[in-house]
Structure 1
Amino acid sequence: MEGSKVEKEDIICIICHCIPNKAYTSQCCGIVSCYTCVQNMKQNKLLTCPNCRNKQPNFQLNMYLQKLINKFPVPCKFDCGLILQICEMPSHEKQCPQKFIQCRLCEFKGNKELFIDHATQIHEDQILKLLEFNSYPQFSNQIDVLQEIKNAAGNICNIGITSKFYCGKSAGFKCTICTGVCGPMNGCNCVNCMELDIKYRKLDKGALVNGEGRISYFKNGSFYCGLKSADSRLCGKDYTCRHCISLIGDIPYYKRLFQ
């Protein structure tokens, strides 16, 4: 490298062949590696240098190299035709008109314009159910609907028509009103998705979200949500609705979340 001039072959990670977002260099032979690959080497106990086979390569963060990398011009990964410095690329990629968006309800992937057409044509019913006014409790935390949300098991979750989280995997149990599957759009959910329900509604201990999407409180060995029936009875005062009855049967499964 001469001055601040940088060639791609001088800065790519020797392991993954990508331009590092955090550049590390080895003290043994000066090879470049990214943060992720250095961490993977440590976790897999690969203690020799992948280039010179030194048994103590000692990778360290190279701030000078990182400053040069930040000025390196790269094309947008969404093929919009724009070429920017690496340090400018993250803000552009958030707004890039060619950015790919993955549909959570199917396998479609496309840019914003194509995604909107797909959503309104293929998933019209689901969109209407999510956007129309209903009595389901709203989230206490604002959720970016384009952000990928995973539960504690690492499964990607969707928000169903009841405003509950669902991953589409096995719920781990089968109650009287569901099929034993977490979602995909309504009904009971697995313990890890229920944990997200509690987190995003900022619920205190002693509360879960039933299969209807209503906050249900545990009291005297039972759950009650306050649902008003067609004949004006209240769940918890005059009767127990079927969704809260379902939660009662699932107490052993959800126990760690509300006690």
Structure 2
Amino acid sequence: MTGPPPAAESTSSDWDCPICLFICADAVECDACSAIFCQTCVRGVSSCPTCRADPLRTHPNGYVRRLIAKMPAGCDGCGAKMQRGDLAEHRVACPDVVRECAKPGCDFEGNRASWLDHVNQEHWKDLCFAFQHHFAKARPNRTNENDPIATTTNSTGRIARLGKTGQYYCGGRLDVACNCCNGDCGPNNGCPCRACMALTIKSRCLAAGFLVNKVGATARKGTTGKYYCGRKIAHLAGSDGWCGPTNGPNCHACKKLDEFGRFYPTSAR
């Protein structure tokens, strides 16, 4: 009979690793002799410790891994009984498991509460760095140069990126006299240059006559000849609380379009 025995006949010693002498963790099997080992124990090993096959070639043994995962086990902290496959996840949250500090040169050991206090007091800078580094890749980055949606090139050849207002900004000097910003196109908000305004109009597929004000709202001229974005604006004197949409007082951002909107293209073409 070849292969491992049925689960009912197996014992924990059947699945001990010949190297560490503990039950195999992530069991792998030697291609030559079918001996099983911990995956980490044979990492970097050139020849099989059992049959001396050189080079050592292994493959994961899913059958043995499932058997080991179903073996009974107990937490070394709180003593709770469970299957071995659930032990690792339990130990992460168990308040009684003794944890070692991972900082090189630090010999601290303690339960979860004391370990957290130790890390917070002694290694808080490392903790902050590790936390930010861990989640940085998962966080959406709207200004990534490799993101074709967030980054493009305007008609002047400058790289333009979407800012907080949803408009494109290239960071160059403004070619419109807005008198309300620092004189730069963005980089995250404020008034854009003419080339970046054209990019925003094109990306939003706006019809001729539409512009985008400094807060990112689409606006067009009403019956009064003023620009209106149609947003609800609290405390807009002399109005019903809305910027337009066709007449009446307009918001501060649209008033700026009244002043220098003529310098902007009103069509992407």
**TM-score (normalizing by structure 1):** 0.43
Q: Which has the larger radius of gyration?
A: 2
